[in-house]
Structures are given as C-alpha cells and as structure tokens.
C-alpha cells in the first residue's frame, strides 16, 4: 500500500489559505471601528476631565481669592494646575508682553548691581513676577481635583490658543520633545479671583489624525467652559465683538 505523500500530510491547500485571509479581513474590519471608537472615547474623556477641572477652578478662584493657571506641556502631552498671586498680569498679545519686558529692563538699568542686591529694585522685581509670573505660581495640592494629568495613549495636544500667544496659539516642538525639558513648549491659561478667565481654546486630537479630536474652550464673559468635536477658529469666536467703540454725538 503506498505511503501518503508529504504534500498530503502537511501544509494548507489554496482554498484553506484564501478562507483564512477572508476570515482575517472580516475580523480586522470589525476591529478597526472598535479601536477607533475607543480612541474617540479616550479623547472625549480627556477633554471632559479638563473642562470639569477648568470649571471647578473658576469657582475655587473666587472662594480663595487666588489666581489659577493650567500649564499645558504640548511636547509631553500633560497638563497641571498651579496656584499663584491674584495680581498676576496677563497680556492681550505677544507684543504687549514684549513691551512690558523691555520697559522693565530699561528701568533696571538705572540701578547698580549693589543697589539691586540691597533691594532698591524690589518693586521692579515684583513687576517682573507680573510680567513673567512663573516664580509666583506653584503646583496645587488638592484632594478635590487631579492637579496633574497625562493625555491617554494615542492622543496629543494639537495647539493651545490664548491671546497672549497670538492668532496661531502655541504648538508642540516640530522635531518632537526636546532632550532638555527646560525647552518644552508650555502654554498657560489663567483663571482670576473675580471668576473671569482668558479666552482659551485647547485642541486634543488623535496622534495619527489631526482632524479627529475634541476642543475645550472658554467663554470669558460668562465663565463657561465648553466642548466641541470641531476645530474652532479664534477669529470666528470673536467675530461678534466690535472692533471700535461707539461714536458719541
């Protein structure tokens, strides 16, 4: 009786291979929408956590008579809450900030090094903290809100807009996170003791698809913090604002 050939004892037939490929295609077609749905949920969840924290800070600022700011590290995909001086200045444009820094530098030139060390320029030091208030803000310790969070895997900040960063806002470093963390792109959004806040737009998107994501934005006049799945143009949000004051006859 002849022995079975090797081709009959091992391997797969062409029909079996085609059937396996078809089955894998069906499984992958079902898995991709499920994965996309999970990413959407993660983006929405991250945006919701940010929006809820922002709203809580608005109320807490008035109760505690302090300023808060949210520090967004666009290179690392993290954000944290910091608390500081209620009198901290925030500028309406990069030009205003630059002008304030230049004026302070000119005033400092009037003092000698010894006078500065003796405290003669103390008022200017306080102004410096207002121009660049980083030194007056520290991490918030609270059991009521997560003070530092990392975006879920597969998500990133596309940009953070406030007027102080210009029309295009701030984005992550083009070449990826720098080796020196001191060079990270960090944007700040402020909340003030009277419950007002900067107009801000934060866009959280899919790592691989910048069109897919959620936007958290503030309405400074009424203090609302809102969410939207669309990208928002700061110019469009401000289109209703008058560009000139009323004419008095």
What's the CATH code of the domain at 60? 3.55.40.10
**pLDDT at position 40:** 73
Q: Is 249 within the bounds of a domain?
A: no
Mean pLDDT of 180-194: 91
Structure token digits, residue 91: 């500028």
Give me the phi and psi of 145, to 5 degrees please: -145, 145
pLDDT band with cut points at 50, 70 and 90 for residue 13: confident
Q: 95 and 108 share a domain?
A: yes
Model confidence at 141: pLDDT above 80: no
For residues 186 and 4, the model is more confident at: 186
**pLDDT at position 109:** 73
Q: How many domains, in total, are found in the chain?
A: 2
Q: Is 1 within the bounds of a domain?
A: no
Q: 78 and 119 share a domain?
A: no
Mean pLDDT of 25-30: 55
Of 136, 169, 193, the position where a domain reaches its end is 136
Mean pLDDT of 33-46: 69
Q: 182 and 229 share a domain?
A: yes
Model confidence at 121: pLDDT above 70: no
For residues 2 and 171, the model is more confident at: 171
Q: 131 and 205 share a domain?
A: no
Mean model confidence pLDDT for the chain: 77
Q: Is 27 within the bounds of a domain?
A: yes
For helices 94-108 and 122-131, give the axis angle rounded to 10 degrees. 160
Q: 64 and 114 share a domain?
A: no
Q: Among 72-86, 99-113, 160-174, 196-210, which is the least confidently predicted range? A: 99-113
Q: 124 and 99 share a domain?
A: yes
**pLDDT at position 53:** 92
Mean pLDDT of 21-31: 60
Percent of the chain with pLDDT over 90: 32
Percent of the chain with pLDDT over 70: 67
Model confidence at 86: pLDDT above 90: no
Q: 131 and 37 share a domain?
A: no
Model confidence at 11: pLDDT above 50: yes
**pLDDT at position 95:** 77
Q: Give the structural domain span for 26.
A: 14-88+139-237
């Amino acid at each position: 009786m002849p022995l079975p050939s090797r081709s009959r004892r091992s391997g797969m037939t062409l029909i079996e291979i085609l059937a396996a490929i078809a089955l894998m295609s069906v499984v992958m077609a079902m898995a991709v929408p499920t994965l996309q749905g999970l990413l959407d949920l993660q983006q929405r969840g991250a945006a919701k956590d940010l929006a809820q924290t922002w709203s809580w800070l608005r109320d807490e600022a008035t109760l505690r008579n302090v300023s808060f700011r949210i520090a967004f590290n666009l290179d690392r995909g993290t954000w944290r809450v910091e608390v500081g001086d209620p009198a901290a200045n925030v500028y309406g444009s990069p030009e205003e900030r630059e002008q304030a820094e230049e004026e302070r530098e000119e005033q400092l030139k009037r003092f000698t090094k010894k006078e500065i060390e003796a405290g003669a320029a103390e008022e200017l030091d306080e102004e410096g903290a207002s121009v660049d208030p980083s030194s007056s803000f520290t991490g918030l310790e609270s059991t009521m809100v997560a003070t530092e969070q990392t975006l879920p895997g597969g998500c990133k900040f596309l940009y953070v807009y406030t007027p102080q960063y210009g029309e295009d806002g701030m984005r992550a470093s083009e070449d990826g996170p720098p080796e020196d963390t001191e060079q990270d792109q960090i944007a700040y959004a402020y909340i003030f003791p009277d419950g007002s806040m900067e107009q801000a737009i934060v866009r959280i998107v899919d790592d691989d698809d910048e069109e897919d994501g959620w936007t958290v934005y503030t309405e400074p006049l009424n203090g609302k913090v809102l969410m939207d799945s669309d990208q928002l143009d700061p110019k469009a949000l401000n289109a209703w604002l008058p560009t000139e004051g009323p004419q008095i006859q």
